[in-house]
A = this chain, B = another copy of it.
Amino acid sequence: MATDQNKLVKEITSRDVDFAKWYTDVCKKAELMDYSDTKGFIIYRPYGYAIWEGIQQYMDKEFKRTGHENVYMPMLIPESLFMKEAEHVEGFAPETAIVTIGGKEELTERLIIRPTSEVLFCDHYSKTVSSYRDLPKKYNQWCSVVRWEKTTRPFLRGSEFLWQEGHTIHATEAEARKEVLDMLEIYKNTGRDLLAIPFVTGKKTDKEKFAGAEETYTIEALMHDGKALQSGTTHYFGTGFAKAFNITFQDKDGVLKNVHQTSWGLSTRLIGAIIMVHGDDSGLVLPPYVAPVQLMIVPIQAHKEGILEKAYELRDRLQKQGIRVKVDDSDKSPGWKFSEAEMKGIPIRLEIGPRDLEQNQCVLALRYNGEKLRVSLSDLDSELPKLFERIHQAMYDAAMENVLKNTRPALSFDEFVDIINNQGGYVKMMWCGDRACEDLIKEKTSATARCIPFEQEHLTDVCPVCGKKAKHEVYFAKAY
């Protein structure tokens, strides 16, 4: 058993030896993804895709609960349409994939594979909205987008990724601004309630905001290696796009006005966040509510009478309760099965053998901390939901502790550089608001402003970089 187990585990690099290598090892060995023949494009394998489906189901319900409707826009955008909003073009044009041939013929107008769909929504809205009665429109789309990336990493940066993009238009600025913050709240709660990831939330600096947005808000997560991961953003556009695309409506007062617009998106990057926040040297560790398999039943001495039958009976019983259960009835050894379940981060492993059967009990092994419990089979139905809740909370707390432990104030720029280079994590520092200081920080340390947090502390009176009056407290970090 031990040999088996070591064999599989040994195949992944230790997290503290080479974090980048450990990450791709987990992606591959947990069978989340595979590389494809299309350079920079990955294959989402069943287990990885199932995690995304879990996120989708959860968020889609939240979007619908808050009055959003799903739509589907074309995958291809005529170049002339794409070019209508200047800042947007500048931001996205360098990384587009362009179709020039269709049905064996050179196209008269080139078509861009959507890197994001603002312009398509704008065009549709401009044609379908005319009165305040038509507002708000709160649309969302689940799709994939293509952005030509030079260096790629599974889930974190790829030439194609899966995401949702929300696009809404409103009669008033206040309503649009509320939408942007409401959706950020939903994103943040998804971290808290589904992924067991505490997000730091706040506003992006102008340098880091979305191409074409007036304001961008973000949820930032801290990975085990001390780097931050931007995990979702929401944008307030003001009337910029509305003016470029002529989206107008006649208001109650009879006046023709431009709509106020938002967009917000969240992607399969979150799978990367789950891996790098919770994973360990045995592989993936999944929080129970997003785990495709929450409980893996491993029969011990499966050939003995009644063992396999009991395993199936338990599975059927627990499935009826809504728990996602599987029985590993393959012809592998139990030790091998244990390692596989560990690699895949299945929250609880249930072992049942002849002696357990006699005593009407089983062993539960918790993936996140290795704890083992003996539980009566009669108590299983009531114990498991409580255990899932406990595991989820403990994983969230551990992640939160990591954030708190690795968030440090810097009162001088020297201190800032020292922390960034030697400790990592978030560094909180006051900032004058000038792009020049932000650029200098990036140049010297490669750290970027992750966000201007909603809850502002006052650390120093001046910006430690330039000595001018401080405007905001900012969270800086090296980031993916």
* A residues whose Cβ falls under 8 Å from a Cβ of B: 34, 36-38, 41-46, 49-50, 52-53, 69-78, 81, 93-104, 110-111, 113, 120, 123-124, 127-128, 133, 139, 143-144, 146, 148-150, 159-160, 162, 330-331
Contacts and interface: CB of A to CB of B under 8 A. Distances in A.
Given A100-B100, A148-B102, A123 B36 contact: yes
B123 A81 contact: no
B99 A97 contact: yes
A103 B98 CA distance: 9
A38 B71 contact: no
Contacts of A73: 36, 43-44
Nearest to A72: B44
Nearest to A42: B74
Please give the count of copies of this chain that the complex contains.
Answer: 2
A97 B74 contact: no
A150 B144 CA distance: 25
A97 B112 CA distance: 11
Nearest to A146: B75
A146 B95 CA distance: 21
A160 B43 contact: no
Given A76-B97, A97-B99, A123 B37 contact: yes
Given A43-B120, A46-B69, A74-B160, 12 more contacts: A34-B124, A34-B127, A36-B73, A36-B124, A38-B74, A38-B111, A43-B71, A76-B97, A76-B160, A94-B104, A98-B101, A99-B99
A37 B78 contact: yes
A78 B45 CA distance: 20
Most buried by B among A43, A45, A104: A43
Contacts of A160: 74-76
A127 B104 CA distance: 31
A359 B185 CA distance: 45
A99 B98 contact: yes
B144 A72 contact: yes
Contacts of A97: 76, 99, 101-103, 111
Which A-B residue pairs are the 4 nearest by beta carbons? Answer: A103-B148, A41-B74, A46-B69, A44-B72
A36 B100 contact: no
Nearest to A81: B37
Contacts of A50: 69-70
Contacts of A139: 46
A55 to B, nearest CB: 13
A174 B312 CA distance: 27
A84 B15 CA distance: 40
Nearest to A158: B74
A170 to B, nearest CB: 17
Contacts of A110: 101
A23 to B, nearest CB: 20
